[in-house]
Structure 1
Amino acid sequence: MATYTYPAIVYRQRDTAQQLFCVFSARVGEVQLWSTVDRLTPENKGGVQRERKDARVDAIGDFFKADDRNTIPTSIIIAIPRASLKFGGVDEKDITTQPVPVEIEIDVPDGQAAPGLIIDGQHRTYGIAKYDSKVPVNVVAIVGAGDDEVAFQFIVINNKVSKVSPDHIKALKLEYSDANLDSRLTRSARMRSSGAPAYLEQIDTQDDSPFKGMLKWPRNEVDPKRSIPLNAFEMALMHIASKRLDQVGEAEVSSSDFVVRFFLEMWKRVKSSWPTLWDDPSSRLLKKVGVVCMSQYLVDTLVTWSLSPFVQIDLTDLNQMGDVVTEVLKQQEIAFWTSEWDATSLDTKSGREWVVDSLARIQFNKSKNLPWNKNVSLSPGKKDPAAD
Structure 2
Amino acid sequence: MATKNAKHGDVETEIALGDRVRYSTSLVIQGDQRFYTLTMPSDVLASCCFATSREEDPLTGFQRVLDEKRAQDIADYMDLGFGTIPSSIILSAQPDADLKLVGGGKTIEFTYGPHSFLIIDGQHRVFGFAKARTKLRVPVVIFNGLNKQQESRLFIDVNTKQRPVPSELLLDLKKLADLEGDEEGLLRELFDTFNDDEDSPLLGLMSPAAKIKGKISRVTFNAAVRPILGAFANQSTSVIYPALNSYLKSVHKGLVTIGARETMVNATVFRAFFELFPDVAQRVVDRSGMAFAEKNFVDVLDPMFDKLKPIKLKAPPKSHKELASDMQKALKTGFLIG
8 Å CA contact 1:228, 1:288 repeated in 2: no
Q: Which letter maps to 2:143?
A: I
8 Å CA contact 1:10, 1:100 repeated in 2: yes
Superposed, 1:1-80 pairs within 5 Å as: 2-3=17-18, 5-9=21-25, 11=27, 13=29, 21-38=35-52, 71-80=84-93
Q: Which letter maps to 2:332?
A: K
Residue 374 of structure 1 is matched in structure 2 by 332
Q: Which letter maps to 1:363?
A: S
Shift of 1:79: 1.1
Q: Decide which of 343, 347, 365 is 2:298's aligned counterpart.
A: 343
Shift of 1:104: 3.0
Write the distance in 2 (CA, Å) between the matches of 1:228 and 1:381. 36
Q: Which letter maps to 1:300?
A: T
Shift of 1:362: 4.6
Write the distance in 2 (CA, Å) between the matches of 1:264 and 1:71. 28
Of 231-240 and 133-142, more deviation after overlay is shown by 231-240
Residue 181 of structure 2 is matched in structure 1 by 207
Matched, 1:152 2:153: yes
Secondary structure of the structure 2 residue equivalent to 1:148: helix
Residues 132 and 163 (structure 1), Cα distance of their counterparts in 2 relative to 1, 3 Å cut: same
Residues 27 and 102 (structure 1), Cα distance of their counterparts in 2 relative to 1, 3 Å cut: closer
Write the distance in 1 (CA, Å) between the matches of 2:156 and 2:265. 37
Write the distance in 2 (CA, Å) between the matches of 1:204 and 1:375. 48
8 Å CA contact 1:7, 1:101 repeated in 2: yes
Secondary structure of the structure 2 residue equivalent to 1:104: strand
Aligned length: 264
Q: Decide which of 99, 107, 110 is 1:104's aligned counterpart.
A: 110
Secondary structure of the structure 2 residue equivalent to 1:215: helix
8 Å CA contact 1:78, 1:119 repeated in 2: yes
Write the distance in 2 (CA, Å) between the matches of 1:263 and 1:65. 33
Secondary structure of the structure 2 residue equivalent to 1:134: coil
Q: Decide which of 194, 197, 220 is 1:229's aligned counterpart.
A: 194
Q: Which letter maps to 1:147?
A: K
8 Å CA contact 1:228, 1:287 repeated in 2: no
Secondary structure of the structure 1 residue equivalent to 2:211: helix
Of 154-163 and 70-79, more deviation after overlay is shown by 154-163
Superposed, 1:268-307 pairs within 5 Å as: 268=226, 270-271=227-228, 275-277=230-232, 279=234, 286-287=244-245, 290=248, 299-300=267-268
Secondary structure of the structure 1 residue equivalent to 2:183: coil
Write the distance in 1 (CA, Å) between the matches of 2:66 and 2:121. 12
8 Å CA contact 1:284, 1:337 repeated in 2: no
Write the distance in 2 (CA, Å) between the matches of 1:211 and 1:14. 44
Residue 363 of structure 1 is matched in structure 2 by 325
Q: Which has the higher contact order (CA 8 A, sep 6+)?
A: 1
Shift of 1:146: 0.8
Q: Which letter maps to 1:106?
A: Y
8 Å CA contact 1:87, 1:105 repeated in 2: no
Residue 97 of structure 2 is matched in structure 1 by 84
Residues 130 and 234 (structure 1), Cα distance of their counterparts in 2 relative to 1, 3 Å cut: farther
Q: Which letter maps to 1:80?
A: A
Q: What CA RMSD, in Å, does the superposition of the two structures yield over aligned residues?
A: 6.1
Identity percentage over the alignment? 16
Q: Which runs of 5+ in 2 are unaligned?
A: 2-16, 54-64, 197-201, 252-262, 285-295, 314-319
8 Å CA contact 1:3, 1:106 repeated in 2: yes
Q: Which letter maps to 1:337?
A: A
Write the distance in 1 (CA, Å) between the matches of 2:222 and 2:75. 17
Shift of 1:138: 0.6
8 Å CA contact 2:71, 2:127 repeated in 1: yes
Residues 360 and 54 (structure 1), Cα distance of their counterparts in 2 relative to 1, 3 Å cut: same
Shift of 1:145: 1.1
- In terms of Rg, which structure is larger? 2
8 Å CA contact 2:74, 2:125 repeated in 1: yes
8 Å CA contact 1:119, 1:153 repeated in 2: yes
